Amino acid sequence: MIRGLPIGLLVISAGMISQMGFLLNADVIGGHYLTIIGIVLGVSAGLLFLVYRRRRLFRKIHIFHSSNKVPWYKKPPNHYMVFALCILGGMVSVTLINNMSDTGDQRVEVYNVTGIGEQRVRYEVFKYLRLSNGSETITYRPVDKQNFTLGEEVEVTIEKGLLGFSQVLDAKSTKRQW
């Protein structure tokens, strides 16, 4: 049972990273790279936190105590939870930094809808579109009232983020609405 614990946590962590990467960076061009940067940042922060806690523990090594009567905030950290929270925090912080400010570098391009798919995140199903202009394929999560069909041309508004990753802001059909 104990040997299966880390493998099970790795599977759960991979699922968490996949789902959070989709939720945070589905509309970002090259969002998988932004997710990887967040993961590396989170693992680095987790390692730094554990090294800091270990150094602090060795300074107070002469004090003996029973771990059963220690309050929860003085107990040693759960390493799996520390890394999960650090990875999640790294992914969220990198995404927020990329999407934080308006860089003013917006452009409008024409794409074709090449695919309509669904991504399941826990108990919700999120719809997304695969848009292609021949040389590049991007993902866009439409708003509730937006309906697109396969092969339809759409005008996509793209803005460059603070970290250099472009984000899809809006997609509108090129058909005339009467």
Residue ranges of domains in the chain: 4-98, 106-173
Q: Give the closest residue to 22 by CA, choosing from 156, 124, 172.
A: 124
The pTM assigned to this predicted structure is 0.77
pLDDT tens-digit series, residues 40-90: 999 999 999 888 887 876 666 555 555 566 666 676 667 778 888 899 999
CB 173 within 8 A of CB 153: yes
Phi, psi of 135 (to 5 degrees): -105, -20
The third-level CATH classification (topology) of the domain covering 106-173 is OB fold (Dihydrolipoamide Acetyltransferase, E2P) (2.40.50)
Strand partners, 131: 113, 138
- pLDDT tens digits for range 123-158: 888 888 889 988 888 888 888 788 888 888 999 999
What CA dihedral angle connects 32, 33, 38 and 44, to 10 degrees?
A: 130
